[in-house]
Amino acid sequence: MEFNISQSVRREDVPDKIAGIAKYIGDYKFKDMLYARTLRSTEARAIIKNIVFPKLPDGYCIVDKGDVPGRNRVKIIDYDMPFFADGVVNYIGEPIALVVGKDKRVIESILSQIRVEYQRIEPILSVEDGLNAEKPIFGDNNCFSDYTISKGDMVSAKRRAKFVYEGEYETGYQEQFYLEPQGMIGVYEEGKVSIYGSIQCPYYVKNAVEECLGFEPYRVRIVQTTTGGGFGGKEDYPSLIGGQVACAALKTKKPVCLIFERNEDIEVTTKRHPSKIRLKSYIDENYRVLGMEGDIVLDAGAYSGLSSVVLQRAMFASAGVYNIENLVVRGRAVATNKVVSGAFRGFGAPQAFFAIEMHMEHIARELGIDPFEFKLSNILRQGDRSTTGGLYRDRILLPEMVNRVIKMSSLEEKKKAFKEKRKIGKLNGIGLSMFFHGGGFTGSGERDHIKGRVRLVKDDKGYVEILVSNVEMGQGAGTTLRKIAAKTLEVPLSKIIFNNPDTDRVPDSGPTVASRTTVIVGKLVQEASEKLKERWSEDRVEVEVQYKYPEGFYWDNDRFEGDAYTSYSWGVNAVEVEVDPTTCEVKINGVWAVFDIGSAIDERIVKGQIDGGIVQGLGYASIEVMEDRSGKIMQRKSTDYTIPTSMDVPEIKSELMCEPYGGGPFGAKALGELTLVGAAPAYALAIEDALGVKINKIPVRPEHLMEVVQNGK
């Protein structure tokens, strides 16, 4: 069948979701299923001296560290996080044990009667304290990671500089707030454990559960159930609770269901790393940024989790879309006695792009020059080198994209009109951001760790099933992958089958993270389809392909040198705001965006990702406040932690421009995370434009704005 790959089709996951038929983890019922609730630490840092359990009724049990037959450490990147606390606790909410049984009310009652005796240790509650810790939580310097990247010659850049500007930028927590809270069910049958759950990475859970139980791979099976959003929050956390329900199922020999309450989910699961980023730029008389020194500090929380790779992405993005030839950037992921920070759409890039976009604007303002001209004169071009010395091989369309956004938003006319209006007390402003996102794993991840495999199976009726471990979680992956196969095989879309992955059936094509599904896995689906096409006349065919690192690229993981990514997607966002001069409340009046994601595999899916990503990014910049007091998250309910709704954001006007990537399917590049990355700086810059102040911190709250306005900065 001939169809244009970009033309939208009906998404296959949507009808069941709309009709309420789709089966989420909460809809699964197994015979004799038991429920579990988690006993959690109420202390930020303590030694557990003793735990006093009440007498348990028949059919109820406790599952804790003593019930972990294998290694009581969750395999994420390192092994530092225990499935169940082992003598010490390091954050409020850390799991100590599960209470398991038939009736949820009885479980609650047991939970409330358990007494944990703690010996408190002085907790580390800020990154500043973490960097000067006398009793580190981790290692000698209390950093899970401490990296430096450098390129060029900073000494000469400093010598040649005529102007130096330094600024510090701060970003807060962000909670993924997926529609469906975390949940998993563990089932034990004839020596084998099966885990069903709401997850992004079936094989991550599988590896973690194998080590937790000390089981051979064939004795652990992971089945993804319809997943109501992940946004990075179901990248690592499911490995922890997967191991817990596995232990519980093994102990009770019954299915055990652990589903979080919303409040519990907000309080104890991973979030976006709060950051403090200091940038110091050296500029010459022609307003070229000759060099930059950067210092990035991420609040990693109590365990390392994914912090090392989040930090790398932040560091490699620290120069933003600018060609800064001389650079030294240090990055540290600091251990604190707080909830574990993890993956969230953008993975370190939203923090870095907020910092560099504000920084560049502030430099221009200090120099008294036009920010657009300043930014565009320093902008990356094809053939330039990245922060790690990698080559930007493809054309970079940013100047055209900026022009387009300026036109779409009538930016110039508006800026003029706003100046006039300001005289009568109306405070409007418009801000513009530029950014990129590297597709797939950072550095050698795809090459050395993931080595994704994709299998296609054709039956004698001409149906082709895509066997991959990647998941549909609302981002349209199922439909996108089917379209790639159908188009390559030249068969109707209805002939291509995509099911939720079950590790007994699918090979490990890697996790559904790093916006890799279309660009990396989609390419493998395309390659497998080409192979399958050659053998189409056979009755039943199975083909499998594996990821090959593209020729001509280079990455040295010890020195962080080379091509951190094999492809880049680009974005330009403009946001218009109106600020109430009395209350400092901010209303968003317009949002415009242009993205280069190569070719769009499905325009409506792309539009969905654009709108969703931008709204999430605007929430990050404005109303999504999350703070802790003495290590306890203060916003623990959906009424305290609010995310934007359609009422808070006007229609988002977006367009695509296309520089295709030869290594992606039909020229497609990464999309999923890119769309969140630029919204926060565009929003903050719009407020700066309206008020003439400098903003160095998100979320921008009216009370902070008032302070900034009163300080007259």
DSSP annotation string for 353-395: HHHHHHHHHHHHHHHTS-HHHHHHHTB--TT-B-TTB-B--S-
244 interacts with, out of ligand MTE, ligand MOS, none, CB within 5 to 8 A per kind: none
Query: C-beta of 710: minimal distance to ligand MOS in Å?
Result: 37
Does residue 229 interact with ligand MTE by CB under 6 A? yes
The region of 203-211, 236-244, 458-466, 511-519 touching ligand MTE under the rule CB under 6 A is 511-519
- Which residues in this chain contact ligand MOS in the complex, by CB under 6 A? 200, 232, 235, 343-345, 347, 513-514, 673
**How far is residue 497's CA from residue 508's CA, in Å, rounded to a whole number?**
18
- Cβ-defined contacts of 503-507 (< 8 Å, 24+): 503/202, 503/203, 503/206, 503/220, 503/221, 503/222, 503/223, 503/469, 504/221, 505/467, 506/202, 506/455, 506/467, 506/468, 506/469, 507/453, 507/454, 507/455, 507/467, 507/468, 507/469, 507/544
DSSP code at position 445: I
Partner in contact with 474, chosen from ligand MTE, ligand MOS, none, beta carbon below 5 to 8 Å by kind: ligand MTE
Q: Which does 75 bind (CB under 5 to 8 A by kind): ligand MOS, ligand MTE, none?
A: none
Q: Among 36, 100, 220, 473, indicate the residue that binds ligand MTE (CB under 6 A).
A: 473
- Concatenate the DSSP letters of all residues of 71-117 into one string: -SS--SSSS-S-SS--SEE-STT-EEEEEEES-HHHHHHHHHH-EEE
3-state helix, strand, coil in the chain (%, to 5): 30, 25, 45
Among residues 514 and 686, whose Cβ is nearest to ligand MOS? 514
606 binds ligand MTE (CB under 6 A): no
Residue 281 interacts with which of ligand MOS, ligand MTE, none, CB < 5 to 8 Å by class: none
Taking the C-alpha atoms of residue 162 and residue 234, their distance in angstroms, rounded to an integer, is 48
Q: Which is nearer to ligand MTE, 249 or 473 (CB)?
A: 473
- With CB under 5 to 8 Å by kind, the binding choice for 439 among ligand MOS, ligand MTE, none is none
230 binds ligand MTE (CB under 6 A): yes
475, interface contact from ligand MTE, ligand MOS, none, CB < 5-8 Å by kind: ligand MTE
State which residue, 72 or 176, has the beta carbon closest to ligand MTE. Answer: 176
State the Cα–Cα distance between residues 138 and 80, nearest whole angstrom. 9
Stretch that binds ligand MTE, among 309-317, 380-388, 573-581, 665-673 (CB under 6 A): 665-673
Among 541, 671, 679, 690, binds ligand MTE (CB under 6 A): 671
Which of ligand MTE, ligand MOS, none binds 547 (CB below 5-8 Å, type-dependent)?
A: none
Q: Are 248 and 98 in contact (CB under 8 A)?
A: yes
Q: Kindly state the smallest distance separating residue 306's Cβ from ligand MOS, in Å.
A: 9
From residue 561, alpha-carbon distances to 292, 385, 674 in Å are 17, 11, 23
| Residues 169, 175, 180: CA angle, nearest 5 degrees | 160
Question: Does 183 sit near ligand MTE (CB under 6 A)?
Answer: no
Q: Which residue is nearest to ligand MTE (CB)?
A: 672
Comparing CB distances to ligand MTE, the nearer of 248 and 467 is: 467
- Residue 357 beta carbon to ligand MOS: minimum distance, rounded to whole angstroms: 20
Q: Is residue 389 near ligand MTE by the rule CB under 6 A?
A: no
**Is residue 477 near ligand MTE by the rule CB under 6 A?**
yes
Q: Of ligand MOS, ligand MTE, none, which one does residue 477 interact with (CB within 5 to 8 Å by kind)?
A: ligand MTE
**CB nearer ligand MTE, residue 233 or residue 431:** 233
Greatest Cα pair distance, the chain, in angstroms, is 80
Q: Which residue is nearest to ligand MOS (CB)?
A: 232
- Candidates 612, 132, 576, 565; CA nearest to 345 is 612
Beta-sheet strand order (sheet of 183-189): 61-63, 95-101, 34-40, 256-259, 183-189, 192-197, 220-224
- Picked from ligand MTE, ligand MOS, none, the partner binding residue 473 (CB below 5 to 8 A depending on kind) is ligand MTE
Q: How many CB atoms lie within 10 A of CB 474?
A: 22
Name the residues that contact ligand MTE, by CB under 6 A: 229-232, 345, 473-475, 477, 512-518, 609, 612, 671-673
